[in-house]
Amino acid sequence: MGRSHFVFTVELASGEHVIARITRPGRAECFAGFAYWRRQLARVGVPVPRVLSMDLTTTVLPWPIMLLEKASGDDLCNVYADLTAAEKRGVADDLLDIRDRVRSLPPGPGYGGVANYGDLRCHPHWSDVLREYFTGAIDQLTPSQRQRPAVGEIRGALRELRPEFDRIDPLPCLIDATHQNVLVHEGRVTAIVDLDEVGFGDALYPLGVARAGLLARGPEADCIEHVAAPLCVGPVRRRVFDLYSAIACLKMLAPSPLGVTGPPPVDSRIAIRLLTLLDAFAAAAAHGE
């Protein structure tokens, strides 16, 4: 179950397995975006699944549907704990290579996630995207959650670091390729599987999300730290990385208006861990610790 769609593994009569994605009628543009970016990314050598068929008209079924080839592997967060040190380095090398390939695409018309190069929903500045992520998350929090000092620290860091954000160019990045949507098999990245949008802005942001997602589930995220290192040179960029991870924690704790599933239960290990990480990352972003 994704943000606004369901994903199934389907066994055909032939024994072959495919992936079926079904979404709400009002979200058919997601699948059109997937097909568009799949073509762009495959052209530069990014491992992405083939689109086998899709119907966006709701004439075959009452919902838009897309069939994809099934890539081997599982989400990075599901296999990370079982990877050896050498396999984590292999995954990091693959992610660095994928990032370079994505960056070979043209810059965007603006900032944020878009369905194609003609999508006019982009923002004029990267700071506008971050503000949208932040306000979208806190609007869904409970009143007591909004009172946490971390929320104020994130707000202050966003304001203080805005000049840094406004210097960022609208370069392409896989905004949803984080601890999820990156398939890993036998210690190598086999596919990026969420392509409804490609983001334009700071490629460090999805790494902040990946770091928070992995740390919420285990003791370390060294693979992501390695991938992020070239983008984290200097104390200011380290604060930016911490801020991105703090915003990610907020978003993981908050219900999404489009969500099929909700946030983790408040008493779950992941939710408790996310709150601890939120406080630590927000303090580091605010104070440069």
Per residue of the chain (289 residues), what is the pLDDT tens digit? 666 688 999 999 999 999 999 998 888 889 999 999 999 999 999 999 999 999 999 888 899 999 999 999 999 999 999 999 999 999 999 999 999 999 999 999 999 999 999 998 899 999 999 999 999 999 988 888 888 999 999 999 999 999 999 999 999 999 999 999 999 999 999 999 989 999 999 999 999 999 999 999 999 999 999 999 999 999 999 999 999 999 999 999 988 655 555 678 888 899 999 999 999 999 999 986 5
Provide the pLDDT for residue 3.
60
Helix, strand, coil shares of the chain, percent, nearest 5, are: 45, 15, 35
Provide the pLDDT for residue 289.
56
Extract the tokens encoding 274.
């996310």
Separation between Cα atoms, residue 102 and residue 113, nearest integer Å? 14
Provide the pLDDT for residue 142.
84
Provide the pLDDT for residue 246.
98
Any residues with CB less than 8 A from the CB of 38 and at least 6 apart, and which?
48, 49, 50, 51, 195
Residue 179: closest CA among 239, 245, 242: 245
∠ Cα 284 286 288 (to 5°): 50
Provide the pLDDT for residue 265.
82
Determine phi and psi for 224, rounding to 5 degrees. -70, -35
Any residues with CB less than 8 A from the CB of 34 and at least 6 apart, and which?
21, 51, 66, 195, 196
Provide the pLDDT for residue 257.
55
Please give the C-alpha separations between residue 45 and each of 42, 171, 191, 245, in angstroms, as whole numbers. Answer: 5, 17, 11, 28
Any residues with CB less than 8 A from the CB of 195 and at least 6 apart, and which?
33, 34, 37, 38, 41, 48
CB 83 within 8 A of CB 74: no
Extract the tokens encoding 234.
């200097």
Residue 254, helix vs strand vs coil: coil
Provide the pLDDT for residue 49.
96
User: What structural domains does the chain harbor?
Assistant: 5-69 (3.30.200.20), 74-287 (3.90.1200.10)
CB 48 within 8 A of CB 195: yes
Going 276 to 127 to 102 to 34, the CA torsion angle's sign is positive
Determine phi and psi for 19, rounding to 5 degrees. -105, 130
Separation between Cα atoms, residue 63 and residue 277, nearest integer Å? 38
Separation between Cα atoms, residue 31 and residue 15, nearest integer Å? 25
